[in-house]
């Protein structure tokens, strides 16, 4: 897809620090990490967000989830990790190519909401 940042990373037009790749997916380090281990996993196929997952294309989500434990270990999340996919405006999605954040490498705060 034109003008999609993560499609450009998949094409190799934008460099990334790769953690894992195969025919279906790519995992690379987030450029602005929010934890010592912060890896993004994306399908090679352009899917805009969780909102665009259907019965027809959900196989890639299953493949990604089956690989996440290995990717998390490769990325340095040895003692556990959190998987997040921001979808849409309220979640603060900024790149509209489906991606799963793997966060770990430290004890993560329990809440995802800012403290009052
Ligand atoms: P979102 O906010 O859509 O859930 O997550 C997008 C993520 O992509 C952000 O955490 C951001 O730091 C990361 N990101 C944005 N541009 C780049 C880039 O060019 N390279 C890498 N590796 N990560 C990026
Ligand atoms: Zn894309």
- Give 18-52 pLDDT, tens digit per residue: 999 999 999 999 999 999 999 999 999 999 999 99
b/e per residue, 73-102, with b = 16+ CB within 10 A? ebbbbeeebeeebbbeeeeebeebbbbbbb
Domains of the chain, first to last? 5-104 (3.30.428.10)
Mean pLDDT of the chain: 95
Distance from the CA of 101 to the center of ligand 1, in angstroms?
A: 9
Whether the CB-CB separation of 55 and 62 falls below 8 Å is answered with no
Q: What distance in Å separates the CA atoms of residue 110 and residue 30, rounded to the nearest whole number? A: 21
Predicted confidence at residue 62, as pLDDT, reads: 98
Residues with active-site annotation: 99
Average pLDDT of the residues in 51-64: 98
Which residue among 30, 49, 86, 102 has the greatest number of ligand 1 atoms within 8 angstroms of its CB, and so is best to mutate? 30
pTM assigned to the model: 0.96
């Amino acid at each position: 897809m034109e003008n999609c940042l993560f499609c450009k990373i998949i094409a190799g037009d934008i460099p990334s620090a790769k953690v894992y790749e195969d025919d279906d997916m790519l995992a690379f380090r987030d450029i602005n990490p929010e934890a010592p281990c912060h890896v993004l996993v994306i399908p090679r196929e352009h899917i805009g967000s969780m909102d665009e997952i259907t019965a027809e294309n959900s196989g890639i989500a299953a493949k990604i989830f089956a690989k996440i434990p290995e990717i998390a270990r490769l990325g340095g999340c040895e003692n556990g990790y959190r998987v997040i996919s921001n979808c849409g405006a309220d979640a603060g999605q900024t790149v509209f190519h489906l991606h799963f954040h793997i966060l770990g490498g430290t004890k993560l705060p329990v809440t995802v909401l800012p403290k009052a």
